[in-house]
């Protein structure tokens, strides 16, 4: 009787061994597949680098006032701008992000005005931006965001008259920027973007630009496109 029971037990163990081994292999394969599976959603967080460019409309208000005569002149110039940006974004929950960024840009904007005896030109110089943004994910491929930033912009001026005098100078002025845009992921890490920005600079005396008895204020409207990578 004992011999029969031992033989039966041995047969059951032998029959069960292949099934146990198969289950173990299946579990290992499933675990490996799960660990190796790529992320389904785009990465909108972490460090990022970007290049951008687009339409730039610079508006200037110059006001001449020597105590007896006061003249105000408004001008707008459409040009192109382009630059580069570095930033870092971190998640807030499943849908939102918050981040900081800095950028450097240049512009082709230039405007000139003249009177009977002289000609004056103003040209946009380099622009440095530092700010923050808040984003919200739409599905797995899009991020809409709003931004605010401090901006330091440079404006260059030249003035020449019939007497042969020529004055050249530049001024760096602080301002603020507000904007909004959307990023669309083309891969899990690369994206394209569209953005609108409005920038306003403080009014200042334009003696540094060679314009005596004159104050200057300028703003910018920009529509930008860009390409970037999240690391």
Q: Give the pLDDT confidence of 64-108 residue by residue, as tens digits.
A: 777 787 888 777 889 999 999 999 999 999 999 999 999 999 999
Res. 3 pLDDT band, cuts 50 70 90: very low
C-beta of residue 62 within 8 angstroms of C-beta of residue 215: yes
Kindly report the pTM of this predicted structure. Answer: 0.74
CA 136 to chain centre: 15
CA 126 to chain centre: 16
Q: What is the pLDDT of residue 152?
A: 96
pLDDT for 29 beyond 50: no
Q: What is the pLDDT of residue 139?
A: 87
Res. 30 pLDDT band, cuts 50 70 90: very low
CB-based burial label for 55 (10 Å; 0-12, 13-18, 19+):
middle
**Tens of pLDDT, residues 176-209:** 999 999 999 999 999 999 999 999 998 777 666 6
CA 184 to chain centre: 13
Res. 132 pLDDT band, cuts 50 70 90: very high
Q: Return left, alpha or beta for 160; rule: phi > 0 is left, psi -120 to 50 is alpha, else beta.
A: beta
- Measured CA to CA, the distance from residue 122 to residue 125 in angstroms comes to 10
pLDDT for 127 beyond 70: yes
Res. 26 pLDDT band, cuts 50 70 90: very low
Q: What is the pLDDT of residue 124?
A: 86
C-beta of residue 151 within 8 angstroms of C-beta of residue 175: yes
Q: Residue 88 has which token pair?
A: 């870092």
């Amino acid at each position: 009787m004992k011999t029969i029971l031992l033989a039966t037990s041995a047969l059951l163990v032998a029959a069960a061994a292949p099934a146990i081994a198969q289950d173990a292999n299946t579990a290992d394969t499933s675990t490996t597949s799960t660990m190796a599976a790529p992320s389904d959603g785009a990465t909108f967080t972490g460090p990022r680098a970007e290049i951008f460019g687009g339409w730039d409309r610079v508006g200037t208000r110059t006001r001449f006032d020597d105590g007896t005569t006061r003249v105000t002149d408004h001008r707008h110039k459409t040009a192109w701008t382009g630059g580069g940006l570095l930033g870092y974004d971190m998640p807030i929950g499943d849908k939102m992000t918050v981040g900081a960024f800095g950028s450097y840009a240049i512009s082709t904007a230039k405007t000139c005005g003249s009177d009977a005896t002289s000609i004056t030109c103003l040209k946009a110089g380099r622009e440095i931006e530092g700010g923050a943004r808040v984003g919200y994910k739409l599905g797995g491929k899009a991020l809409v965001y709003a931004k605010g930033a401090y901006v330091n912009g440079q404006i260059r001026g030249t003035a020449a008259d019939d007497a042969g005098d020529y004055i050249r100078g530049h001024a760096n002025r602080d301002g603020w920027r507000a904007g909004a845009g959307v990023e669309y992921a083309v891969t899990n890490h690369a994206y394209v973007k569209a953005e609108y920005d409005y920038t306003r600079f403080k009014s200042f005396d334009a003696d540094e630009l060679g314009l005596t008895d004159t104050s200057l204020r300028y703003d910018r409207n920009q529509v930008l496109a860009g390409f970037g990578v999240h690391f």
